[in-house]
Amino acid sequence: MTGSAREFVVEADGGSRGNPGPAGYGAVVLDAATGETLVEAAEYLGVVTNNVAEYRGLLAGLRAAAELDPDATVHVRMDSKLVVEQMSGRWKIKHPDMKPLAAEAARVFPPGRVTYEWIPRADNKHADRLANEAMDAGARGEQWSPSTSTAELDAATDRAASAGRTAGSRRSGDRPAAAPAGAGEAADVAAAGGDAPSAGEPLPWTTTRTGAGSAAYGGGEAAVSGGGAIAGERVGRAARTGAGGTAPGAAEAPAAADVRAAKVVASPGWGPPDMGAPATFVLLRHGETPLTPQKRFSGSGGSDPSLSPVGREQAERVAESLARRGTIEAIVASPLARTRETACIVAARLNLAVTVEEGLRETDFGAWEGLTFGEVRDRHPADLDAWLASPDAEPTGGGESFAATATRIAATRDKLVAAYAGRTVLLVSHVTPIKTFLRLALGAPPESLFRMELSAASLSAVAYYADGGASVRLFNETSHLR
């Protein structure tokens, strides 16, 4: 190595929207002494896996560094535990798609010139932005261009906002907690010899909020849909910003955030450009009824209660929030009174009509209608145990099983996707149907219904693409109620 050799830092990332799915990578070469950005690289790769995209990002970063100075020493920083451990020689490389890429990356510089470090995803935002820009360009039928990139600026803005939040936390006496490893790292560790699941999808609709309580179930208005302690599990989140958006800064006004979120949800999806815009279902749970705070089962076979005064106020608040976003093009509601009333309040604010869809009704809870979970446990313990154990079990008295509900919701989904292709539609429904939409979109097992919190008048969202793919974009958003 000559005396003039330089030291570089390479930060790289890759992503696949589907794993495998439309993919891209991003890489940046920094001057190790000054931190100055020397080279940015990004490329849309077509359909490959997440891990292959990460390796392609590493390879591009190393090649860019070698072009600057073939005698340089390089320190690679990536949030992929898999790539870092494999390139460091601590994990074996088993997957046939990754072996040649790893071998090629190892040949760019002589042995000993390159070191590797795992970093949290939050510290790899520049490369992450580049990868998402490349995927967004691919969705438009284009290749990424450095002349249009805002990745460095976006990453810097995020860092500044994060620093501001940390400083504010410290001023208030709070001690910031250590950032947990992201979902991507956990997946990489689990898949040491092969492809890991896609690390995390972008947040295209608005800021996701998970309810504070956990639910044993979420059927109807029962205790399980609030802060019940039957399952006692809390849902964690690992969120990755992407698909065209910098997370709003701490000083961004709520209205501006709503407008920004609305633009993102109305943007094309992640698939190839010939698929067109997705059908986006914004899923609104109805406002409270008199049974909701009492945590009673309230399905399609009970008393069909109307909204309480609190529920009507909740509907008015969500209507104002949706009006600010400005993206809803149609409203479809369950035939039950509480959903039709909620839908009509929103429709009046948005100047839209309401279409009633029978398939969006709540599950029929049979003889459990109007009872609390505890009352069902006392009166029908064996039936309740069977219902909690199997999606095929029906509530006492011939109610509707979770399996039957899922069949109905899947058929309703397909019908509405065909009717509203490329449009953003508000579906006003109930706990079980909304959770089932989300479960089916995620490919999650039936027991996942017991692990979701869904508050009254909350918003969730799923986008459906022409190739049959789905993307959960929002879950249990309730900021409009505060």
Q: What pLDDT is attached to residue 102?
A: 94
From residue 220, how far is each of 53, 67, 212, 369, 430 by CA, in Å?
43, 62, 18, 9, 7
**Which amino acid would we find at residue 239?**
A
pLDDT band for position 167 (cuts 50, 70, 90): very low
Question: To 5 degrees, how large is the angle CA 119–CA 45–CA 151?
Answer: 50
Token match 């390879």: residue? 59
pLDDT at 186 over 60: no
Which distant-in-sequence residues (6+ apart) come within 8 Å of 138 by Cβ? 22, 24, 44, 45, 46, 272
d(CA 93, CA 84): 11
Q: What pLDDT is attached to residue 185?
A: 40
Q: What pLDDT is attached to residue 238?
A: 27
Q: What percent of the chain has pLDDT above 70? A: 74
pLDDT at 268 over 90: no
Lowest pLDDT segment from 45-59, 113-127, 154-168, 223-237: 223-237
- Going through 85-127 in order, the beta strands assigned E by DSSP cover 114-118
pLDDT digits (tens, 9 = 90+) for 190-210: 443 433 333 333 323 322 222
By CB atoms closer than 10 A (0-12, 13-18, 19+), residue 481 is middle
Mean pLDDT computed over 31-51? 91
Which distant-in-sequence residues (6+ apart) come within 8 Å of 28 by Cβ? 10, 11, 12, 37, 39, 40, 41, 61, 126, 127, 130, 151, 152
Mean pLDDT computed over 51-71? 95
d(CA 294, CA 20): 45
Dihedral (C-alpha) 400, 402, 408, 412: value to the nearest 10 degrees? Answer: 130
d(CA 221, CA 237): 25
List the catalytic residues: 286, 362
pLDDT at 184 over 50: no
Mean pLDDT computed over 31-46? 92
d(CA 192, CA 15): 17
Q: What percent of the chain has pLDDT above 90? A: 59
